[in-house]
Amino acid sequence: MPTPYGPKADAGPPGLAAKLLGFCEELRGEGVAIGTSEILDAFTALELVEWTSRDDFREALAATIAKSQDDRRVFELLFERYFFRAAEGEAVQREITERGEGGESGEGGERIDMDELRDQIRDAIAEGDEDRLRDLARLAIAAFGRGEGSGVVGVDVQRIRRTLGLTAGTQPPADDGQERPPIDRSQLTGFERHLRRELERDLIERTETLPPSRPLAELDRALPTSPTQDLAAVHRAVSQMKRRLATLGHEQRGHRKAAAVDVRRTMRASLETGGVPLRLKYKPKRPRRPEIYVLCDVSTSVTSASVFFLSVLHALHDSFRKLRSFVFIERISEVTDVFEHERDFAAVAQKISSEGGVADVSGYTDYGRVWMEFLTEISDELDPRSTVIVLGDARTNGREPHAEIFAQVAERAGRLFWLNPEPKLYWNYGDSVMAAYERYCDGTFECWTTRHLENFVNVVAGGVAVAE
Amino acid sequence: MAEGSVADVKAALAEVGYLADEPAALVSYLAQELGKPVLVEGPAGVGKTELAKALSRSTGRELVRLQCYEGLDEAKAMYEWNYRKQLLRIQAGGEAGWEDVQEDIFSSDFLLTRPLMQAIASPEPVVLLIDEIDKTDQEFEAMLLELLSDFQITIPELGQVAATTMPIVVLTSNDSRELTEALKRRCLYLWLDYPGLEREMEIVRLHVPELPEQLTRRLVEVIEMVRALDLKKPPSIAESIDWARTLLLMGAEDIDRETFNQSMSIIIKHRTDIDLVAERVGVKLADPLRAQG
């Protein structure tokens, strides 16, 4: 309710402090760990920078709050959204609108010249003038009439862009014959972002409500369900795992029984006993780097998982020096070289499918044959120090599973783990023969989310399994 | 460098030959004003260590550097008792009572200072660079916490040694493993990435002003192309500068395929990378013979 004395009072606690706390709270909700000391730092830092510069404000906040690349990514996404919403929400609450009653007709009355507008936008894009682009975006929206849109912001953005005739690529020369620099995709997206933002602002002003805020998509947690899905998501998950692998080795150090005498520390300790080395000090032992053999099923029944598994292999190769990898369908084929020489994941995947030579005729997995081939090819090198990891669904398509040969593999290897891309519920249904193999494994894991994967990594690196 | 604004810090850094981008300048400024350590992360060769050096030059402070490696312990990083000297003291002491000797041998005379202690004890303010913190183990990180939050070191026999002057602390990490939350919480965070085309051109021109502008642009473009490939070790900024110097020495006028193949080893340091770059980038460059014909 507007009062005669001015805008109505705020509902929430006023001021920047409350807004910042709200922002931090939202970041925490997205899984960014922010301590109270960090919030205090943020406030101190903000006292030192000019608030009029949006970039300084944002950087100062980011430097004190977002402490990793992942956090920074979330921060960027939320910063835009939160402060935009905060400002708009405040405006709605205080019933501030940008144009008064009837102000609109005066502006909209004169026709805006479409060609002129288009040229100006092109110039602004070329110069990279963000403020001007924003103004032009509003002008463009005004030109197409507010309220006439479909009501769906995304649709309107594209409609306006199409009507303006803006496309990426080389641009026609200006009227005075001057050459224009080409517009690339990202510049155009920049303009669309402005359009979207202004349309949203309009929508909020019209409806006087904010759309509900949604949590960010949880890309990191779920695995892709089809190979066409975003590979980047898999890679992000795997890179997290890679870091964890690197850290896990370190955690082990110093906890084990030691062997070699550390002369320096022994001498140092001998001081307490007048220079007589009564107590020996030992050097901490290096953690053991396991020798790993990975066998990966790449048949059609695990298509969706193979992309994921291949990228896991890819990541493992970066983390473990002694790693040999194999892919199999009907036959087995070593692909260690491919991974070592090819850094690009897409190229690896392609090379494996074209040169792997793993499918003979049918393209159905033949586990029995795979064990036999693996055993003859590699058995001499398997020893108690080696770990074998099988990535597969244990679906034999009705063929002989040859569990006894699998048992031989398990016997020679120090540890044998099985990662199954199917939920445990489906194991041993249909042609899945998981039970036949399971008793020879040191551990079987269902593995269809990164969480499962992390759990498994913990076990391999010697840690304790985290509770589900 | 006088106390001032972000722009002043940026200008001061530029004066000593380091072109900082906005976030880097801002965080450097905040680090000085807030007295907080800065954690700088980013790929190898983007100038993380250089930032610390430039800060030391621009502020006129001495640089104390601690290079981290696997197995680094407090004896090598903080302080160590000079046990030889202590033994001598015990043997030479003769008549003095045990109480006296004990008090004596655990005094600062018998202390060997290592970089961290040196930075804390220095009467002049210093810049402390803890390089590649991700190479150490977590125990070492934990040990740093007291230093980073309170700028003091506790020696059981002596008590606390607190900093008399506030050092600027810069930690660098190649992101090869995740640092502990506790460490991160005490630091400001700065992510340095490869510079954009324009900024890298400025950097190269600052260091090799003799190279023609046209050629510098070409060089930076090729470097960007090379970095876009997935290499074992993408070329760093220092290597672009080295390459610019090499081209200058070779008297090259343009980067064609021949010049590129001859000088490629300056920026590419892996055999597999060389093959990949020759295959992907080399062919895009003009063939000198065909260009003439």
pLDDT band at A172 (very low <50, low <70, confident <90, very high): low
Three-state SS for B257? Answer: helix
Question: Are the C-beta atoms of residues A75 and A83 closer than 8 Å to each other?
Answer: no
Q: Is A70 on the interface with B (CB under 8 A)?
A: no
pLDDT value of residue A254: 47
CA distance A300 to chain B (A): 29
Chain A residues whose CB is inside 8 A of the B87 CB are: 271, 275
Q: Is B81 on the interface with A (CB under 8 A)?
A: yes
Query: What percent of chain A stands above pLDDT 70?
Result: 64
Contact A63 B27 (CB under 8 A): yes
Residue among B5, B6, B185 minimizing CB distance to A38: B185
Q: Find the range with the poorest average confidence among A98-112, A229-243, B176-190.
A: A98-112
pLDDT value of residue A84: 75
Res A92 pLDDT > 50: yes
pLDDT value of residue B179: 82
- Could you say which of 3.40.50.920, 3.40.50.410, 3.30.300.280, 2.60.40.420 is the CATH number of the domain covering A231-252+289-460? 3.40.50.410
Q: In this predicted model, what pLDDT tens digit does every residue of A194-225 receive, in sequence order?
A: 887 777 777 777 766 665 555 554 333 334 44
CA distance B293 to chain A (A): 30
Question: Are the C-beta atoms of residues A331 and A358 closer than 8 Å to each other?
Answer: yes
Contact A59 B23 (CB under 8 A): yes
Q: In this predicted model, what pLDDT tens digit does every residue of A394-414 receive, in sequence order?
A: 888 778 888 888 888 888 887
C-beta neighbour count of A46 within 10 angstroms: 18
Q: In this predicted model, what pLDDT tens digit does every residue of A180-196 receive, in sequence order?
A: 667 777 777 778 878 87
Can you tell me the distance from the alpha carbon of B9 to that of B2, in angstroms, rounded to the nearest whole number? 9
Query: pLDDT higher for A321 or A287?
Result: A321
One-letter amino acid of A331: R
Residue among B30, B181, B272 minimizing CB distance to A63: B30
Contact A59 B272 (CB under 8 A): no
Which of A127-141, A269-283, A415-429, B149-163 is the most confident on average? Answer: B149-163
Can you tell me the distance from the alpha carbon of A82 to that of A75, in angstroms, rounded to the nearest whole number? 10
The structure tokens listed for B88 are 């001598």
Q: Is B69 on the interface with A (CB under 8 A)?
A: no
pLDDT band at A285 (very low <50, low <70, confident <90, very high): low
Interface of A with B in 380-439 (CB under 8 A): none
One-letter amino acid of B207: H
Res A466 pLDDT > 50: no
Interface of B with A in 142-171 (CB under 8 A): none
Q: Find the range with the poorest average confidence among A27-31, A119-123, A376-380, A459-463.
A: A459-463
CA distance B36 to chain A (A): 9
Residues 6+ apart with CB under 8 A from B158: B106, B107, B108, B111
Query: pLDDT higher for B100 or B166?
Result: B166
Q: Find the range with the poorest average confidence among A118-122, A247-251, A338-342, B157-161.
A: A247-251
> What is the dihedral angle through the alpha carbons of B251, B257, B261, B263, rounded to the nearest 10 degrees?
30
Q: Is B230 on the interface with A (CB under 8 A)?
A: yes
Three-state SS for B287? Answer: coil
pLDDT value of residue A376: 85
Residue among B26, B39, B184 minimizing CB distance to A56: B26
pLDDT value of residue A289: 56
**Mutation for testing the A interface, residue in B185, B233, B275 having most A CBs under 10 Å:** B185
Contact A67 B34 (CB under 8 A): no
Question: Are the C-beta atoms of residues B28 and B38 closer than 8 Å to each other?
Answer: yes
**Chain A CA closest to residue B136:** A250
| Mean pLDDT of all residues in B92-106 | 76
pLDDT value of residue B172: 93
Contact A63 B23 (CB under 8 A): yes
| Mean pLDDT of all residues in A264-278 | 84
Contact A268 B27 (CB under 8 A): no
| Mean pLDDT of all residues in A292-317 | 73
Q: Find the range with the poorest average confidence among A11-25, A191-205, A335-349, B133-147.
A: A335-349
Is 0.90 topped by the overall pTM?
no
Res B37 pLDDT > 90: yes
A227-231: long-range contacts, CB 8 A cutoff, minimum separation 24: A227/A303, A227/A304, A227/A306, A227/A307, A231/A307, A231/A311, A231/A345, A231/A346
**Mutation for testing the A interface, residue in B3, B26, B111 having most A CBs under 10 Å:** B26
Residues 6+ apart with CB under 8 A from A450: A220, A221, A222, A223, A237, A240, A241
Q: Is A251 on the interface with B (CB under 8 A)?
A: yes
Q: Whose CA is closest to A98, among A215, A223, A202, A225?
A: A202
pLDDT value of residue A318: 64
Res B68 pLDDT > 70: yes
Mean pLDDT of chain A: 72
Three-state SS for B201? Answer: helix
Contact A41 B75 (CB under 8 A): no
DSSP collapsed to 3 states, chain A: CCECCECCCCCCCCHHHHHHHHHHHHHHHCCCCCCHHHHHHHHHHHHHCCCCCHHHHHHHHHHHHCCCHHHHHHHHHHHHHHHHHHHHHHHHHCCCCCCCCCHHHHHHHCCCCHHHHHHHHHHHHHHCCHHHHHHHHHHHHHHCCCCCCCCCHHHHHHHHHHHHCCCCECCCCCCCCCCCCCECHHHHHHHHHHHHHHHHHHHHHHHCCCCCCCCCCCCCCECCCCCCCCHHHHHHHHHHHHHHHHHHHHHHCCCCCCCCECHHHHHHHHHHHCCCCCCCCECCCCCCCCEEEEEEECCHHHHHHHHHHHHHHHHHHHHCCCEEEEEECCCEEECHHHHHHCCCHHHHHHHHHHHCCCCCCCCCCCHHHHHHHHHHHHHHHCCCCEEEEEECCCECCCCCCCHHHHHHHHHHCCEEEEEECCCHHHCCCCCECHHHHHCCCCEEEECCEHHHHHHHHHHHCCCCCCCC
C-beta neighbour count of B130 within 10 angstroms: 27
Contact A48 B187 (CB under 8 A): no
Residue among B34, B86, B139 minimizing CB distance to A41: B34
Can you tell me the distance from the alpha carbon of A9 to that of A252, in angstroms, rounded to the nearest whole number? 58
Can you tell me the distance from the alpha carbon of B111 to that of B88, in angstroms, rounded to the nearest whole number? 14
pLDDT value of residue B1: 41
**Chain A CA closest to residue B81:** A268
| Mean pLDDT of all residues in A74-82 | 80
Chain B residues whose CB is inside 8 A of the A254 CB are: 137, 139
Q: In this predicted model, what pLDDT tens digit does every residue of B148-162 receive, in sequence order?
A: 888 888 888 888 888
| Mean pLDDT of all residues in B184-201 | 89
Chain B residues whose CB is inside 8 A of the A343 CB are: 230-232, 272, 276
pLDDT band at B52 (very low <50, low <70, confident <90, very high): very high
| Mean pLDDT of all residues in A3-23 | 64
Q: Where are the domains of chain A?
A: 15-93, 110-207, 231-252+289-460, 256-287
pLDDT value of residue B129: 94
Asked if the interface predicted TM-score (ipTM) of this complex is over 0.90, the answer is no
CA distance A67 to chain B (A): 5
Res A243 pLDDT > 70: no
pLDDT value of residue B58: 92
pLDDT value of residue B170: 94
| Mean pLDDT of all residues in A89-102 | 62
pLDDT value of residue A465: 45
Query: pLDDT higher for A87 or A239?
Result: A87
Q: Is A379 on the interface with B (CB under 8 A)?
A: no
Can you tell me the distance from the alpha carbon of B19 to that of B237, in angstroms, rounded to the nearest whole number? 12
CA distance A344 to chain B (A): 6
pLDDT value of residue B293: 38
Q: Find the range with the poorest average confidence among A138-142, A275-279, B143-147, B271-275.
A: A138-142
Chain A residues whose CB is inside 8 A of the B229 CB are: 344
Res A67 pLDDT > 80: yes
Q: Is A60 on the interface with B (CB under 8 A)?
A: yes
Can you tell me the distance from the alpha carbon of B36 to that of B30, in angstroms, rounded to the nearest whole number? 8
Q: Whose CA is closest to A107, among A141, A149, A132, A153?
A: A141
